[in-house]
């Protein structure tokens, strides 16, 4: 299946944007705004067997209880450590998911990583950043069975709302709410 994002289609989704957030996130919010006055995230973890399907934002406000559920879900599964995940990370993932037009939940490979976990992963791979945004709750590595890495990368990059990395050989896309940048594409 080939998904194409036309300039007109993306602009149409962004047209309903009325955002009072940082300009960097405006495009991700615009995609979400096109979904109505709510934002929803659907993910599962192959590591823990857990899943989450929650509305975390309604009519301009984040829902604290839903964000707490997301924090627990996105915890460092190796250590059990939980921190407050930056909701903008979830916004980027939700906006990209909406553009991909699928009901399939993301498979989350990595959300929050403790410094200990990040150091261990760095010792095993050159692809793990020393100051990874995963350690700040600002990144997620995600996969979809029904969409290619290239499709996911293109959707996330079109949001222009953070960092997007394409890891084709490992079959996942990194999405974060840091500065806008792209790699692996």
- Tens-place pLDDT, residues 86-126: 999 999 999 999 999 999 999 999 999 999 999 999 999 87
Asked whether residue 72 is assigned to any structural domain, the reply reads yes
- Pairing status of strand 61-62 against strand 51-58: antiparallel
Asked whether residue 4 is assigned to any structural domain, the reply reads no
Q: How many domains does the chain have?
A: 1
- Work out the pLDDT band at 29, boundaries 50, 70, 90: low
**Residue 105 phi, psi dihedral angles, 5° rounding:** -70, 150
What span, in angstroms and rounded, lies between the C-alpha atoms of 74 and 147?
22
Positive or negative, the Cα torsion across 127, 133, 137, 140?
negative
What is the chain's mean pLDDT, rounded? 85
What span, in angstroms and rounded, lies between the C-alpha atoms of 167 and 156?
13
- Work out the pLDDT band at 138, boundaries 50, 70, 90: very high
Cβ atoms 37, 19 nearer than 8 A: no
- Work out the pLDDT band at 185, boundaries 50, 70, 90: low
Q: Quote the domain boundaries for residue 179.
A: 9-183
What is the b/e burial string over 111-125, where b = at least 16 CB atoms within 10 angstroms of the residue's CB? bbbbeebbeebeeee
Asked whether residue 2 is assigned to any structural domain, the reply reads no
Asked whether residue 3 is assigned to any structural domain, the reply reads no
Residue with tokens 């490979």: 109
**Residue 65 phi, psi dihedral angles, 5° rounding:** -60, -40
What span, in angstroms and rounded, lies between the C-alpha atoms of 71 and 105?
17
Asked whether residue 1 is assigned to any structural domain, the reply reads no
pTM value surpassing 0.85: no
Please give the average per-residue pLDDT across 46-62, as a whole number: 94
Give the tokens for residue 129. 């950043």
- Work out the pLDDT band at 67, boundaries 50, 70, 90: very high
């Amino acid at each position: 299946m080939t998904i194409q994002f036309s300039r007109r289609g993306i602009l149409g989704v962004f047209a309903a944007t009325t955002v009072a957030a940082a300009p960097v996130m405006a495009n991700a919010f615009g995609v979400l705004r096109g979904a109505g006055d709510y934002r929803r995230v659907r993910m599962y973890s192959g590591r823990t067997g857990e899943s989450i399907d929650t509305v975390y934002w309604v009519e301009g406000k984040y829902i604290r209880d839903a964000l707490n559920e997301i924090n627990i879900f996105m915890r460092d599964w190796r250590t059990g450590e939980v921190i407050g995940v930056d909701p903008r990370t979830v916004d980027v993932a939700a906006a990209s998911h909406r553009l991909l037009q699928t009901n399939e939940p993301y498979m989350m490979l990595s959300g929050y990583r403790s410094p200990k976990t990040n150091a261990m992963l760095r010792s095993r791979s050159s692809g793990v950043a020393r100051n990874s945004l995963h350690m700040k709750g600002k990144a997620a590595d995600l996969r979809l069975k029904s969409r290619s890495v290239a499709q996911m990368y293109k959707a996330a990059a079109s949001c222009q709302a953070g960092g997007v990395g394409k890891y084709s050989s490992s079959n996942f896309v990194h999405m974060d709410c840091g500065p806008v940048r792209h790699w692996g594409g």
